[in-house]
């Protein structure tokens, strides 16, 4: 009988990093000294449509159950952890009653029913430029402030029953510690935290009828949220340190150990382009969200709602494997299946243009990739500081980074070299780095760099496909009125 493989003995204390995303909760137990993942677990979430089926909602209680299940899969290692941090999906509106129970399912980031409330709020405060200068971002319907305004108008009884408002990562952190806290990174995506003052904006809160007493305390970089309470059934040691946690994009930036000017393209359920910056972003066009990062800098970011799931849906409709693309043809496909955030077209649906008799299914599928990547790359120059190197490699992360079709589309349309980090589950790794930084008294980004999380294969730049970019841009511009119209 062959001998069982030896399990490496951790060199340092163990920490837990959590990624609570739209679809699941993942937990990694990581050696704080080396970054080695010694155990992992994952449990799924369900997403409902809300009343009428046109929303995106989840019960926060299932996130907690999924966390316990994911930690349970980590076995004894989780019970030895000295610190934990939670990275969570941004923007979600979690409403709790006086007993800490959810009043209703959480409104998720990709629930865009609050588009009318967003339009009104932007106008009432003085327009996009005022929002950008004050909040750092022009709010999209994804932002929490628009969701609260929607709830107040459409479900006033639920709003009146709300005794606490949290973001998804706040909710899980509070379940661990018993304390209502958040961090500047995740708070910067609410629309009621002002980047200009790094505090809650009283006028905006008053305008949407939300008392600041219902909001969590914003912790600074390096502060602890508390310690793990004695929670029967949760496989974590009572007394373990709990870091501030943060939003998923901020956690992924930590997980890569990003330095200023390094561009990241994340290909997941949503697509994002971001980079760490020392300058506070204030984009009045609304293309770039002026988020704070999880430390003391900024994370200008552009996000699309339609990325890998949308392209996979097109592949399924065509009966093609997701990698079965073909070059050529004149088809343009804008895969805005869930409405879109970048460009700002919340009512849009998918648009296919330019079909000919000789158009092949593979060309249509390639057009879907082109449309998804084009929407992200149009924002890249706005995300990067003017002094960022124009030939800096794009770090390609997320589920799509594993696909050759995604990678080659990014190379062709960006004209930049591409690097794909070997490290996976970067949100959970970033949360683990934050927990390790708190435990060891180190900068969490430096911890991640010591773990070499960004190392991976790279591909040289190819000549940018200017003709395709011009064709895509022309169709998007010409179809603007149609894309702003709600689908019957």
- The pTM of the full predicted model, rounded to 2 decimals, is 0.88
Q: Mention every residue, 6+ apart, whose C-beta is less than 8 A from residue 167.
A: 88, 90, 91, 92, 94, 144, 182, 186, 187, 189, 190, 247
Q: Mention every residue, 6+ apart, whose C-beta is less than 8 A from residue 207.
A: 121, 124, 125
Cβ distance 357 to 390 under 8 Å? Answer: no
Q: Hey, what are 219's tokens? A: 């912790």
Neighbours of 128 (CB within 10 A): 17
Residue 145: the pLDDT is 98
Q: How far apart are CA 141 and CA 123, in angstroms?
A: 14
Handedness of CA 386, 387, 393, 398 (dihedral sign): negative
Q: How far apart are CA 263 and CA 143, in angstroms?
A: 23
pLDDT tens digit sequence for 298-348 = 999 998 889 999 999 999 999 999 999 999 999 999 999 989 988 889 899
Q: How far apart are CA 170 and CA 88, in angstroms?
A: 8
Residue 40: the pLDDT is 97
Residue 52: the pLDDT is 66
Interstrand relation of 83-88 and 241-243 (parallel, antiparallel or unpaired):
parallel
Q: How far apart are CA 39 and CA 305, in angstroms?
A: 31
Residue 302, helix vs strand vs coil: strand
Q: Which of 183, 201, 248, 338 is catalytic?
A: 248
Cβ distance 15 to 82 under 8 Å? Answer: yes
Q: How far apart are CA 427 and CA 23, in angstroms?
A: 14
Residue 8: the pLDDT is 60
Is there a catalytic annotation at residue 59?
Answer: no
Residue 76, helix vs strand vs coil: helix
Q: Mention every residue, 6+ apart, whose C-beta is less than 8 A from residue 160.
A: none
Residue 477: the pLDDT is 96
Residue 359: the pLDDT is 98
Q: How far apart are CA 462 and CA 393, in angstroms?
A: 12
Helices within 51-183 (DSSP H only): 60-73, 76-79, 115-124, 128-135, 144-154, 156-161, 168-177
Mean pLDDT by 10 residues, the chain (488 residues): 51 94 96 97 92 85 98 97 98 97 95 94 96 96 96 98 98 98 98 97 97 97 96 94 96 94 90 93 92 96 92 98 97 95 89 97 98 92 80 91 97 96 94 98 97 96 97 97 90
Cβ distance 115 to 168 under 8 Å? Answer: no
Interstrand relation of 224-227 and 241-243 (parallel, antiparallel or unpaired):
antiparallel
Handedness of CA 58, 286, 481, 268 (dihedral sign): negative
Residue 419, helix vs strand vs coil: strand
Extended beta strands in 179-261, E state: 181-183, 193-194, 199-200, 217-219, 224-227, 241-243, 246-247
Q: How far apart are CA 321 and CA 334, in angstroms?
A: 19
Phi, psi of 174 (to 5 degrees): -70, -35
Q: Is the peptide bond before 343 cis (omega within 30 degrees of 0)?
A: yes
Residue 1: the pLDDT is 41
> Which of 32, 70, 421 is CA-nearest to residue 240?
32
């Amino acid at each position: 009988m062959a001998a069982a493989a030896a399990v490496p003995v951790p060199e340092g204390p163990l920490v837990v990093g959590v990624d609570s995303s739209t679809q699941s909760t993942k937990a990694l137990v990581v050696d704080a000294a080396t970054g080695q993942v010694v155990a992992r677990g994952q449990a799924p979430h369900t997403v409902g449509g809300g009343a009428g089926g046109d929303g995106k909602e989840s019960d926060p209680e299932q996130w907690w159950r999924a966390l316990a299940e994911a930690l349970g899969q980590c076995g004894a290692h989780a019970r030895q952890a000295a610190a934990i941090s939670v990275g969570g999906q941004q923007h979600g509106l979690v409403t709790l009653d006086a007993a800490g129970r959810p009043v209703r399912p959480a409104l998720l980031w990709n629930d865009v029913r609050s588009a009318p409330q967003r339009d009104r709020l932007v106008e009432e405060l003085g327009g996009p430029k005022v929002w950008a200068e004050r909040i750092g971002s022009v709010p999209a319907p994804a932002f929490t402030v628009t969701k609260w305004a929607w709830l107040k108008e459409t479900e006033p009884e639920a709003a009146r029953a709300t005794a606490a408002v949290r973001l998804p990562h706040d909710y899980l952190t509070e379940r661990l510690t018993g304390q209502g806290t958040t961090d500047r990174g995740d708070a910067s995506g609410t629309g009621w935290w002002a980047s200009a003052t790094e505090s809650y904006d009283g006028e905006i809160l008053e305008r949407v009828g939300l008392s600041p007493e219902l909001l969590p305390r914003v912790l600074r970089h390096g502060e602890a949220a508390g310690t793990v309470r004695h929670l029967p059934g949760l496989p974590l040691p009572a007394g373990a340190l709990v870091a501030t946690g943060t939003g998923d994009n901020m956690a992924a930036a930590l997980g890569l150990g990003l330095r200023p000017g390094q561009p990241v393209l994340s290909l997941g359920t949503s697509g994002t382009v971001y980079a760490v910056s020392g300058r506070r972003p204030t984009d009045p066009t609304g293309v770039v969200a002026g988020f704070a990062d999880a430390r003391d800098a900024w994370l200008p970011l552009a996000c699309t709602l339609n990325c890998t799931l949308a392209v996979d849906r097109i592949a399924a409709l065509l009966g093609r494997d997701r990698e079965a693309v073909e070059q050529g043809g004149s088809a343009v496909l804008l895969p805005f299946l869930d409405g879109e955030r970048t460009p700002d077209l919340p009512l849009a649906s998918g648009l296919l243009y330019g079909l000919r008799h000789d158009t092949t299914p593979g060309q249509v599928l390639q057009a879907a990739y082109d449309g998804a990547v084009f929407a992200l790359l149009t924002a890249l120059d706005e995300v990067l500081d003017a002094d960022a190197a124009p030939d800096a490699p794009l770090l390609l992360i997320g589920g799509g980074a594993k696909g050759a079709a995604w990678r080659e589309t990014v190379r062709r349309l960006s004209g930049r070299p591409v690097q794909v980090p070997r490290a996976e589950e970067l949100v959970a790794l970033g949360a683990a780095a934050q927990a390790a930084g708190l435990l060891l008294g180190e900068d969490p980004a430096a911890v991640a760099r010591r773990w070499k999380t960004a190392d991976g294969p790279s591909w040289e730049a190819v000549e940018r496909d200017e003709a395709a970019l011009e064709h895509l841009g022309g169709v998007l511009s010409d179809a603007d009125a149609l894309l702003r119209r709600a689908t019957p």
